[in-house]
Structure 1
Amino acid sequence: MPARTPLDDERDHLAASRAALRAMRADAEALDISDVTANWVNAKVLASEIELRIKSLADLAGTPLFFGRLDYEESLDEDGESGRRFYIGRRHVHDADGDPMVIDWRAPVSQPFYRASKPDPQGVALRRRFGYEGGDLTAYEDEHLTDPAEAATSSALLQREIERPRVGPMRDIVATIQPEQDEIVRASLGGTVCVQGAPGTGKTAVGLHRVAYLLYTHRDRLARSGTLVIGPNRSFLRYIEQVLPALGEMEVKQATVDELVAHVEVRGVDDATAARVKGDARMAEILRRAVRGGVRMPSEPVMVVRGSRRWRVPAYELEEIIRELAGRDMRYGSAREALPQRIAHAVLVRMEQAGEAPDDRVQNAVARTPAVKAVVKECWPLVDPAKLVLRLLSDAAFLAEQAEGILTPEEQKEILWERPPRGVTSARWSAADAVLIDEARDLVERTGSLGHVVLDEAQDLSPMQYRAVGRRCSTGSATILGDIAQGTTPWATETWTAALTHLGKPDAVVEELTQGFRVPREVIAYASRLLPAIAPGLAEATSIRESAGSLDVLRVTPEELDEAVVTACGAALEREGSIGLIAADARVPALAKALGAAGMAHLSPGEETSREARLTLVPASLAKGLEYDFVVLDDPAAVVSGEPDERTGLRRLYVALTRAVSGLWIVHSAPLPGALATAASTA
């Protein structure tokens, strides 16, 4: 019989841990709550919590239950036992006696797995990483952190995990989190963190793992206040939607900025100039003026009849009350609700002076009298946010009045709607209009705040969109993720200082990630040729990838382009992993037709979770945040020319160039744009 090996022991521990997890789930399923709640409402809430608990205890097929082990330096405890050993995994698992078999990666005791090093071992004698094939434990790798005779080396298992082919949705990086990433993940809930991350540095994964960490550490608090992940589009959100459930977090909501402000149906599209003006932070002051602009001073006193007596509040006193409310930092709606009570209080003062003893019930009754209601209606009218914005955008005189000294006449003309055709009365709202309505709604009634918000691809937001997001975390904190070099909207932010000010978090800490884990060294170096033109202040990203990756550039004639791209996709499909064909939006229909003619099945972005195929045809406008093992990039010049200006086009190209994990094949007929034209790499 062959001798047992350490790998056999680790496999035994894995089997025992999986059995313990199944027992934990069985215990949860067997809970009887029929007699432990006071009413059916409590029973329903408790049943829902137990159901979530059962889901979180699922043993995911093909997902390692633990991925590392920490052995601490030998020391004797009170019982004379030596050494401590912890297995680090995606969730906590304990045996029948309650002793831990796997420690959650978010627990404080797990932190040294990510941060310990030979210069600073943090008491760890040995760090062991495990390698898996599917769900089977196949290898392990040891680092002896306190052994001076062993030189520090890079982890082959870590490298293999980073480079492992990916098909389908984004997966978690819990086994490969690096020290600089871990510092951001475990940052305090009380502060907002902004992560400037070059392509492939894992900023999206860091943001998602930060949510999981905060929910673990501040579960009760965030359960009350809520968390939200905001992404640039639904395709992106579908791509990342499996990460948090894989970490045991089932209830984190996801949305786009457009969905946050979806108070009206968006059917119109602004040109770049109009959208830029509507997204400017100056619009906030214009809306504030417009909301408050309807407040009027009374011209007559109010006369309140109570029984046989009449009580008079003069116009000048009403004006004092209204001016005092208008001068306070209150929402318009709250001030309107306070106005009848303030008038009623003035009446009660007169009653007391006359010897009466009115109470709160009398004040409330006075506030509801027709005379007081008439004053409120006249002096502080109701404001419908959508109707207010409609008037602002369609009434030139009203806009000029509210925007005086803020927008130039030319800017006012840019955002005014053209007169609709005869008989058309419905507004064709644009996405930027919806954000204005959201701002107006907040001026009338305060927007509810969440405990924590993660905002990804933040560099593409307008100042008014930042304000919309900031309202959702005004009393909480945020994790802001983005890359200035990947800003591809006409209103993209140029500095995080400005962006964070608009967000209402000017004191946020800005962290920069420049060490890449995803994009191959040769590919990121090639894409970085564009940085001086698109973001001269940013440092060039580096890559820890030991393999340089593959980069091929092939020029063909315009007549050969479609066929050459299809051939490249066919060659890419002979490799392992996912394939992304990225092209200018205008080129997508022609390429879809060419792929179909060649019998090559393909997906659209976001469909990777629902259909079986390895090739995705990606419009350049939707490529941001996505990643593929191998990328075929169609005609870079078309990507650049598809944008309103060259700088935005070069930024869009930079995004497309940096989606590859293993290799990039560029096929073009037009000359390469910008600094790429001097590249020496050819097919």
Structure 2
Amino acid sequence: MSVQSAFQDEAARIEDVLGQIRRQLLAIGPRYTGDDFTEQMLQLQREQRQQRLEVAEREPYFGRIDFQELATPQPKPLYIGKAGVAHESSKELLVVDWRAPVASLFYAFSGGEAPITYESPEGEIEGTIHLKRNLMVRGGVLERVVDSYIRGEKDESVTDEFLLYRLGENKDNRLRDIVSTIQQEQDRIIRTEKNKTVFIQGVAGSGKTTVALHRLAYLLYRYADRIRAERMVIFAPNRMFLDYISGVLPELGVGDILQTTYNEWAIERLQRSVRLDDSSDSMAYWFEQPRTREEMEQASGRIKGSTAFKEAVDRRLQELESTLLPEQPFEPIPGMTLQPSAIQDWLLIEDSYEPFMKRRERLVNRIKRWLESEWKARRINDRPLKSKANARLNAYCKKIPSFTASQLYSEMLSGADAAELIPAKSRAATVKALKKNLAEPEDLAPLVYIQLRLYGLDQPVYDHVVIDEAQDYSPFQLEGLRLCQLHSSMTILGDLQQGIHRYAGIVNWTELTEVFDAQEQDYYELDRSYRSTMEIIEFANRVLGSMGDGVKPAVPVFRSGEEVEISVFDQEEERLAEAVRTVLDWQSQGSYRTIAVLARTAIACSVLAARFAEEGVEASLIQSKQEAYGGGLTIVPAYLAKGLEFDAVLIADADAASFGDNDGKLLYVACTRALHKLKLLSCGPLTNLLNAELCN
């Protein structure tokens, strides 16, 4: 069949499928607003169906695979889309949901005539692929058809033509789904079973964030009878990043998943008994001036997030548990005695799995019931006698320890275990702040852990947890999150090569993987970068040099672009003028929808923003607590740009004074924000991270 004929056939089918989708949408009818419970449940089902059909209407499908099962005489075309659609009358599937077992063939097939299998509910199904086709539909119109495999033709390998076409598109201010271009290694991660903690080490641009979001959508589809969206949570580095990724899940037909930052979540778990000190910005403190690696790695944030510190907290909690048992008998009146051995039996036999303070509450209530029982058994109605006995009861119960998380943490910081780990000045400052109900970010993990151990969860457990930029997390943070699940089910993703937060994060994945049992986890590496051109990725890899932490360097897809530019100036005025000239030139070309000007510090970004304003160039200045990214021209500190991506990036201060020898990862992050164009400016000597080889 000719290319033109194939296009015409596919365009005709698109029209037919869209017609069916629109008729089904119209048939849903008006929304029910009454009080009948059955009708309300039916309305909920109709709304869910309507959402799926609306997703399908925007883009009915993106792929086709002709699969012939071994027992059938001919191949059957299967069209893969974001939402499954059945024929309105025959109920035959017109579109297969991308999460369905058979759809895995579209992602797993890599060419060749050998049989291929997939796991269905009925067992393993084997067959052969005759055609793999990519289709692009926008606004109900078929725009592109690419056959990546046709059985019997000489070129039997699946090509990346369609992938390269999609990667070459310009960016807007939102992360997009990758359903149509999911790669084999990404699909394998997405379809990992539910009761696993999946670690993903992914280089810049490897799609790890979108893989994690697609994994959520897959789990909700695959385990629809066991997990719920409202019992899932996504942890992102900041509110701006959450805004950036906000469009992916709705486009996949998924809603109601909690999306938050760890700090916000921790404050909620602590019932807002503490708040972060607004006068301090720990991130700005570490990045607004160069810091040595030793300073970062010896910071109290790393110590308080360590396994050693968690073990010190555990020892104090064990001591607390032992003091729950009074050593003295309770004697409300002479001759009426409750022995400690009886209390011990109650504590150990009844609800011994419960958190400490709940066990204390139950223990106190059990003692009170015992006293009431004794009054009845002895038929004592003497009110003055009972009043004295109740006073003794209250005094006795006060001897059973009761703490808030802040109280126990403050008390623990004053003990010998903490003294061995944290300097006295730092401990004293923390205790003083807690008395004012203030906390630093580094204190939230131990506080939350203590809160959960003392009082347990105040909400249902999480079915699944996603942690993005996990290289910036500590083992202690994960220990607390483990307490929020019955079974470990997490997707933990990050990149050690972007581990710029050495003052609080990890330097090796084993720091986090050791939190979980080996059989409960899988570890994946994604070393292929789909974001940037070959020239940009190769440049960024060389910036890191020997700082790779044992992680494989990024491997670019074969998408060539312009060479990276570097310009050095003697005067600051010349550098600022070049920054403005470069951006105006890029804007005049009309090729870039999103442009970022990056600098080392917020102060440097403010200077650039002022200069752009003087020249009448409209730009958005991103600051540390910003909640939204609007696209267009953006000026942003390099340490806040992590996770974002732009068509073109200008690094305005790639000089030795701004990027020291220990800032390789920060400069790497800045370089890998660029999809198509990267340029660096320097006033005075270039940073040592940009060696002579890079500048040639």
Whether TM-score is above 0.5 comes out as yes
Equivalent position of 1:592 in the other structure = 609
Cα 1:23/1:168, change in 2 over 3 Å: same
Task: Give the corresponding residue for 2:105.
Answer: 112
Change (3 A) 1:613 1:281: closer
1:136–1:185 Cα change, 3 Å: same
Contact 1:121/1:145, CA 8 A, preserved across alignment: no
Is residue 92 of structure 1 aligned with residue 84 of structure 2? yes
Say yes or no: does 1:438 pair with 2:448. Answer: yes
Aligned counterparts of 2:242 and 2:584: Cα–Cα separation in 1? 28
Distance 1:610 1:257, change over 3 A: closer
Distance 1:297 1:371, change over 3 A: farther
Tell me the amino acid that sits aligned with residue 21 of structure 1. I
Query: How many Å separate the matches in 2 of 1:55 and 1:507?
Result: 35
- Aligned counterpart in structure 1 of residue 508 of structure 2, from 492, 495, 513: 495
Identity of paired residues, percent? 26
Query: Does the 8 Å contact 1:521/1:549 carry over to 2?
Result: no
In 1: Cα distance, 2:455 partner to 2:499 partner? 32
2:50 to 34, 40, 54: 54
Question: Structure 2: which amino acid aligns with 1:6?
Answer: A
Match of 2:632 among 614, 625, 630: 614
Residues in 1 aligned to 2:488 and 2:162: alpha-carbon distance in whole angstroms: 38
2:253 aligns to what? 248
Instruction: Provide the C-alpha distance between the structure 2 equivalents of 1:334 and 1:237, rounded to a whole number of angstroms.
Output: 35
1:62-115 deviation per Cα after TM superposition (whole angstroms, max 9, x unaligned): x532111111249885xxx84311111111112211222111111111111111
Relative to structure 1, the CA distance from residue 473 to residue 626 in structure 2 (aligned partners, 3 Å threshold; closer, same or farther) is farther
Structure 2 counterpart SS, 1:481: strand
Equivalent position of 1:543 in the other structure: 556
The amino acid across from 1:332 in the alignment is F
Q: 1:200 aligned to 2:205?
A: yes
Shift of 1:527: 1.1
Deviation at 1:653, TM superposition (A): 1.2
Which position in structure 1 is the counterpart of 2:666?
A: 652
C-alpha change, 1:231 and 1:50, in structure 2 (3 Å) is same
Check conservation: 2:190, 2:215, Cα contact below 8 A.
yes
* Equivalenced residues, count: 642
Deviation at 1:209, TM superposition (A): 0.9
**Relative to 1, partners in 2 of residues 1:92 and 1:640: Cα closer, same or farther, differing over 3 Å?**
farther
| Residue 408 of structure 2 is aligned to residue 380 of structure 1 | no
Deviation at 1:7, TM superposition (A): 1.6
Contact 1:671-1:677 at 8 Å conserved across structures: no
1:211 Cα deviation from its structure 2 partner: 0.8
How has the CA–CA distance of structure 1 residues 596 and 218 changed in structure 2, closer, same or farther, with 3 Å as cutoff?
same
- Using the TM superposition, give the Cα deviation of residue 288 of structure 1 relative to its aligned residue in structure 2, in angstroms: 4.0
How far apart in 1 are the matches of 2:350 and 2:545?
50
Match for 1:626: what amino acid? Answer: L
Q: Deviations over 1:588-614 (max 9, x none)?
A: 101111121222222355999978752
Q: Partner amino acid for 2:102? A: V
Distance in 2 (alpha carbons) for counterparts of 1:322 and 1:587: 64
Q: How does 1:494-643 map to 2 (within 5 A)?
A: 494-502=507-515, 507-557=520-570, 558-573=572-587, 574=589, 575-585=591-601, 586-604=603-621, 614-637=632-655, 641=659
Gaps of 5+ in 1: 357-365, 393-397
Residue 676 of structure 1: SS of its match in structure 2? coil
> Structure 1 residues 374, 474: CA separation in 2 closer, same or farther (over 3 Å shift)?
same
Amino acid at match of 2:37: T
Measured at CA, do residues 430 and 613 of structure 1 come closer, stay the same or move farther in structure 2, by a change above 3 Å?
closer
Contact 2:83 2:95 in 1 (8 A): yes
SS at match of 1:538: coil
SS at 1:534's partner residue?
A: coil
Asked if the contact 2:68/2:129 (under 8 Å) is kept, the reply is yes
Mark the CA change 1:172 to 1:303 in structure 2 (over 3 Å): closer, same or farther: same
Amino acid at match of 1:301: P
Shift of 1:450: 0.5
1:129-186, Cα deviation, whole Å (9 max, x unpaired): 1134665212212134531533436232221012211112010111111111110111
Q: Distance in 2 between matches of 1:517 and 1:372?
A: 71
SS at 1:235 equivalent: helix
Quick check: 1:339 aligned with 2:363? yes
Which residue pairs with 1:279 in the alignment?
A: 305
Distance 1:64 1:176, change over 3 A: same
C-alpha distance after superposition, 1:480-503 (max 9, x if no partner): 111111111113212212112246
Q: Amino acid of the residue matched to residue 446 of structure 1?
A: G
How far apart, CA to CA, are the structure 2 residues paired with 1:74 and 1:324? 59
Name which of structure 1's ranges 182-191 and 567-576 shifts more when overlaid on structure 2: 567-576
Match of 1:395 in 2: none
Which SS does the other structure have where 1:258 is aligned? Answer: helix
User: In the TM superposition, what whole-angstrom CA distance separates every residue of 1:17-69 from its partner, at most 9, and x where no partner exists?
Assistant: 2222223333334475858636xxxx6566455444433432478x5321111
The 5 A counterparts of 1:297-336 are: 298=326, 300-303=328-331, 311-314=336-339, 316-317=340-341, 320-321=344-345, 330-336=354-360
Q: 1:477 to 1:373 in 2, by over 3 A?
A: farther
CA spacing shift, 1:296–1:594, aligned 2, 3 Å: same
Aligned match for 1:72, one of 59, 67, 73: 67
The alpha-carbon distance between structure 1 residues 73 and 527, as it changes in their structure 2 partners (threshold 3 A), is same
- For the 8 Å contact 1:181–1:206, the answer to whether it is kept is yes
Could you tell me which residue of structure 2 aligns to residue 213 of structure 1?
218
CA contact (8 A) 2:303 2:421 kept: no
What pairs up with 1:339-378 in 2 under 5 angstroms?
Answer: 339-340=363-364, 343=367, 370=390, 373-374=393-394, 377-378=397-398
CA distance in 1, matches of 2:341, 2:563: 79
Quick one: structure 1 residues 450 and 605, their matched pair in 2 at CA, closer, same or farther if it must change by over 3 Å? farther
The verdict on how the C-alpha distance between 1:608 and 1:82 changes in structure 2, with shifts beyond 3 A counting, is farther
| Alpha-carbon contact 1:321-1:342 (below 8 Å) kept | no
CA contact (8 A) 2:606 2:621 kept: no
Unpaired runs of at least 5, structure 2:
117-127, 286-295, 380-385
> Which whole-Å CA distance do the structure 1 matches of 2:562 and 2:413 have between them?
56
Q: How far apart, CA to CA, are the structure 2 residues paired with 1:552 and 1:121?
A: 48
Bigger Cα displacement from structure 2, 334-343 vs 214-223: 334-343
Q: CA deviation at 1:504?
A: 7.1
Q: Is the 8 A contact 1:67 1:89 kept in 2?
A: yes
Aligned-pair CA distance for 1:556: 1.6
The range that moved more, 51-60 or 219-228, is 51-60
User: Which TM-score applies when normalising by structure 1?
Assistant: 0.84
Counterpart of 1:462? Answer: 474
The farther-off stretch of 12-21 and 477-486 is 12-21
1:380 to partner: Cα distance: 2.0
Letter in 2 for 1:578: T
Aligned to 1:408, the other structure's residue is in SS state: helix
Q: How many Å separate the matches in 1 of 2:462 and 2:392? A: 37
Query: In structure 1, how many angstroms separate the alpha carbons of the residues matched to 2:679 and 2:488?
Result: 44
Root-mean-square deviation (Å): 3.7
The alignment partner of 1:248 has SS state of coil
Contact 2:598 2:651 in 1 (8 A): yes
TM-score by length of 2: 0.83
CA gap of 1:508–1:449, structure 2 versus 1, over 3 A, is same
Equivalent-residue separation in structure 2 for 1:640 and 1:45 (angstroms): 60
1:285: how far off? 3.6
Inter-partner Cα distance in structure 1 for 2:657 and 2:461: 39
